[in-house]
Amino acid sequence: MLDGTTNGAVYGLLGLVIVLVFSVTRIIFIPQGEFVAYAALSLAVMQMGKVPGTIWLLLILAVVAALMNSIEAQRHGQSLSQIFKIFLKTIAPSLLVSALTIWASPLHLPLLIQALICVFIVTCFGPLVYRVAFQSLEDASSLVLLIVSVAVHLAMTGLGLLFFGAEGYRNPPFWGDSFEWGALRFSGQTILIFALSLVLIFALWIYFEKTLTGKALRATAINRTGVRLMGISSRKSGNLCFTLAALICAVSGLLIGPTTTIFYDSGFLIGLKGFVAAIIAGLTSYPGAMLSAIVVGIIESFGSFWASNFKEVIVFTLIIPVLLWRSIKAGSHEES
Amino acid sequence: MRNLELKHLKNFQWPLLLLLVLVVAAIPVPDFWIYQANYIGIYSITCLGLVLLTGILGLTSFGQAAFVGIGAYSTAYLTLNFDLSPWLSLFIGLSITTLSALVIGLITLRMSGHYLPLATIAWGLSLYYLMGNIDALGKYDGLQNIKSLSIASLNLGQGRIFFIFTWICLILFIRSLSKFLDSRLGRAVRAIKSGSQMPQAMGINTFHFKVLIFCLSALLSSFSGWLLAHFQHSVTPSDFGLKMGIEYLFMTVVGGAGYLWGAVIGAGIYKILDDQLQVLLPMLIGTSGSYEVIVFGMAMVLILKYLPDGIWSLFGGLNTIEHQHELWADAEPLPAKTQSNAGEVILKVNKISKRFGGLLAVNEVSFSIKSGEIKGLIGPNGAGKSTTFNLITGVLPVTSGEVSFLGKRVEHLSMREISQLGISRTFQHVKMIPEMSVLENIAIGAHTRGHAGITAALTGQDKREESRIFKEAHKQLLRVGLGNYMNEPAGNLPMGPQRLMEIARALCADPTLLLLDEPAAGLRFQEKNELAQVIKNLKAEGVSVLLVEHDMDLVMKICDSLVVMEFGNVLVEGSPVEIQNNPQVRAAYLGTEH
């Protein structure tokens, strides 16, 4: 039960990501699981004192994105120095993070610092993936975006295998102590997961309610054309939203890393459960996604207790009646 | 002359293809390539189903591999455990597939937008884990030692004979499906992709067709699974997991989801690429693993970006089917309804109201239409004309009041049922299938007047009915004066002819009452005159029309009587002259002097 709720809290975070990305960009963020796995596995590799392979991908992506930006700038007739600036601007964060990683990896730094570096790495992926795969398709139908999303997931899984190999890793907990409270036993990790989830949710809420950029993101979600007319760039929103998404995914990956063994392809299943939660909440409500994620976590842990082999079957079959209910509730909105 | 030769060639197209298969099997192609071609054939059959479902009907499925799995596992289990003949287990497998596709389809196909593809991911995963956890199915190891197919004493094996069998099946499937797409049912299916409102208004049961195509594509997958099981002699869950489902979609998208042959091209490219990459990539990288997905993922993104219609679109282009006059030269006309006597009341609207939350959009509106009459419904913007129109056609439910048509209450019937009773409509924003020819678009209107079923459509047994439908469509085409555009893709038409085409499509349904929703909107002066002439001709032929229109000139010229609405109420009803001189109407349109 407690296990269920802790996993549920992480699924909830991922559910939030799905909701965030979908509502701003209409992209159903299937590759989020890979972000989660990349974070957890990069940490595992750094724990062994090696340089995680993810940074090479990061660099390649950064170069591709920078080239794409430069070519676009050139088409708009900008001067060479401007193009160069744009190139540098796109590539700089990834370069910095990679340099940091290469420098830090062999040093066996404390766990928390390594974790922080992993968060940096994975967060850098967000905007780059958006730039390379999605940005030029921003006006495509959400079905095309979905297929692209699946394709990105496929490519990232393969790359994950390339960087981390087929064996799984389990990270050490950030907080190894455990506490007893009545009949319940909390491990430090559990408390950490809850606390961090709550903090992140609260931060998101503040961000979307109180800040101008947060409001801009929300506006993009509601009306893209209108937002463009008001001078908000939907590209910038997409970029920002993917950065945020990658950040949350990285944190979730680090949180769930110590509770279960992570393989290069486990991200997908973890992500999908967040996904089930997000869909139960209708892809638009943050608190709803969190709540239903905890429910999913509980169902899963009960499922694994009663019929452990069939727990995945149970969780994913659950989604179908929910989807049906959602779809009926949404009604048949006809194109016009 | 050249045309004639082409046509003759077309008649031999299918036999030639079959011959080609035999030739390929006969010449000394290396066994390796025959083996590859067998896989390509098997995959292509699944992809054909996806072309129907995704490219033509517009429903994306990531779960197709699950149906391949059902077909493969049923035959594997039955032939291994009960020693059944594979031919018998094929039919059992197909029946199981039909049942499960019906159940899944009835639940999931009601979903709209992106909910459906997500659901396919969900059942794709569930089924994979189910297959991987059932003892009788060998868990994750699957089932081995499945026997080869044989016809009488001829063993099909894994080589050339299997190749001939698979590819002949594939070509026959493609032939049937292309026949199907060029039939009454096929046109209905092609109409659904761009939204369900128009097909519904033409009396097409869109949900019924979605389930039909879903089952058909599942059956194709199941058949391909049956072939796969007997070809590989083994089945494992990973052949049917979500990854494979995504890869089937990949093949279809790469090949060209809108084209039947795109399935074959896509499967071919996939299989050859897959094979080369599985050798090449581990060599490059140094360790083994399924790295080919990296390339597939990237290729899919690139293709969607730069070639969204797939590779076949490079050869195929727009695929309008040309129809020639000879087809329907001596066809009998379709049976027509007996029309009611002139002057009889056919539509009676009695105090209908529509409330959207706090807004009363239509307030107790009443009027009636007599047979042979042209009635205009006019009013300033926001008067509730379109809402009234939607209430009559069943697009929106009424809040209160009655609508009766030919003495039958219709206000609670669906759009489709109302259209079947004999009310046919056009749309304010033209709704058509741009890739289909003008004639085919018009023929959609005759949907409810045909009866040939799916088997007739697949086997081409519906020829006679088809020619009757096209004769009717051609008649309506000439009636609205579009004779020159017959085989033109509808998307190429200017606005005026598009509107006329919609009228012809509505007329094709043999309606008792024709409802035109702002037919003159966006037309140029000359086009308006042509439209007015068409409507006048229709009146002369005794057609009854309800016209919602903004253009005063047009309305005054052609209507027998007018209903003026303002703020959801009927302001006044009368002949055009009365309306023109009515001070209230002037006030509503021009404002009053204070």
Question: Which DSSP string do the residues of B362-374 spell out, in sequence order?
Answer: EEEEEEEEETT-E
CB contact under 8 A, B107 and A324: yes
In angstroms, the CA A281 to CA A15 distance is 9
Name every chain A residue with its beta carbon within 8 A of the beta carbon of B273: none
Residues B317-328, mean pLDDT to the nearest whole number: 63
**Better-predicted residue by pLDDT, A140 or B582:** B582
Which of B579, B531, B546 lies closest to B371, judged by CA?
Answer: B546
At B58, the amino acid letter reads: G
Confidence of residue B45 (pLDDT cuts 50, 70, 90): very high
User: How many structural domains does chain A have?
Assistant: 1
Chosen from A150, A263, A279 to mutate, greatest number of chain B CBs within 10 A: A150
Q: What is the pLDDT of residues B202-258, one digit of tens each?
A: 888 888 888 999 999 999 999 999 999 888 888 888 888 888 888 888 888 888 888
Which of A4, A2, A85 lies closest to A300, judged by CA?
Answer: A4
State residue B214's pLDDT score. 92
Answer yes or no: is pLDDT of A329 > 70: no
Name every chain A residue with its beta carbon within 8 A of the beta carbon of B249: 147, 150
> Is the Cβ–Cβ distance between B235 and B118 less than 8 Å?
no
List the single range of A66-75, A76-85, B144-153 with lowest mean pLDDT: B144-153
Confidence of residue B298 (pLDDT cuts 50, 70, 90): confident
CB pairs under 8 A between A and B: 139
Mean pLDDT (chain B) is: 82
CB contact under 8 A, B197 and A159: no
Q: What is the pLDDT of residues A92-103, one digit of tens each?
A: 888 888 888 778
Which residues make up the CATH 3.40.50.300 domain(s) of chain B?
342-421+518-594
Which residues 317-336 of B are in CB contact (within 8 Å) with A?
none
Which residues 214-243 of B are in CB contact (within 8 Å) with A?
243
Confidence of residue B594 (pLDDT cuts 50, 70, 90): low
CB contact under 8 A, B301 and A152: yes
List the single range of A297-301, B102-106, B303-307, B441-445 with lowest mean pLDDT: A297-301
Residues B359-376, mean pLDDT to the nearest whole number: 86
Name every chain A residue with its beta carbon within 8 A of the beta carbon of B60: 143, 146-147
How crowded is residue B594: how many other Cβ atoms within 10 Å of its Cβ?
A: 3
ipTM beyond cut 0.90? no
Half-sphere exposure of B367 (CA within 13 A, CB side): 26
CB contact under 8 A, A317 and B308: no
Chosen from B125, B193, B415 to mutate, greatest number of chain A CBs within 10 A: B125
In angstroms, the CA B191 to CA B435 distance is 10
Answer yes or no: is pLDDT of B318 > 60: no
State residue B2's pLDDT score. 42
Answer yes or no: is pLDDT of B103 > 90: no
Q: Token pair 């559990």 is at which residue?
A: A190
> Is the Cβ–Cβ distance between A264 and A160 less than 8 Å?
yes
Which residues 412-431 of B are in CB contact (within 8 Å) with A?
429
CB contact under 8 A, B300 and A323: no
Range of the domain at A168: 2-176+183-330
From residue A8, how far is each of A2, A259, A278, B578 by CA, in Å? 9, 12, 12, 71
Which residues 60-89 of B are in CB contact (within 8 Å) with A?
60, 62
CB contact under 8 A, B114 and A28: yes
Name every chain B residue with its beta carbon within 8 A of the beta carbon of A272: 121, 125
Q: What is the pLDDT of residues B170-204, one digit of tens each?
A: 999 988 998 888 888 888 888 888 777 888 888 88
In angstroms, the CA B552 to CA B567 distance is 19
Confidence of residue B44 (pLDDT cuts 50, 70, 90): very high
Answer yes or no: is pLDDT of B379 > 90: no
CB contact under 8 A, B304 and A147: yes
Strands B150-151 and B154-155: antiparallel
From residue B206, how far is each of A184, B195, B358 by CA, in Å? 55, 9, 32
Q: Token pair 């297959």 is at which residue?
A: B131
In angstroms, the CA A153 to CA A269 distance is 12
Q: Token pair 């992993």 is at which residue?
A: A118
Backbone angles phi, psi at A139, to 5 degrees: -100, 5
Q: What is the pLDDT of residues B420-437, one digit of tens each?
A: 888 888 888 888 888 888
Burial status of residue B465 (CB atoms within 10 A of its CB: 0-12, 13-18, 19 or more): buried
Strands B359-370 and B400-405: unpaired
Separate counts of helices (H) and strands (E) for chain B: 23, 12
Chain A: give the shortest CA distance to residue B298, in Å: 6
Most confident among B26-30, B94-98, B524-528 (mean pLDDT): B94-98
Which of A329, A320, A253, A239 lies closest to A10, judged by CA?
Answer: A253
Residue B295's contacts (CB-CB under 8 Å, 6 or more residues apart) are A155, A158, B273, B277, B281
DSSP per position, B377-436: EE-STTSSHHHHHHHHHTSS--SEEEEEETTEE-TTS-HHHHHHHTEEE--SS----TTS
What would the CATH number be for the domain defined by B342-421+518-594? 3.40.50.300
> Is the Cβ–Cβ distance between B209 and B52 less than 8 Å?
no
Domain contains A17 = yes
State residue A336's pLDDT score. 29
Rounded to 5°, angle at Cα A167 from A272 and A45: 90
Q: What is the pLDDT of residues A63-75, one digit of tens each?
A: 888 888 888 888 8
Domain contains A335 = no
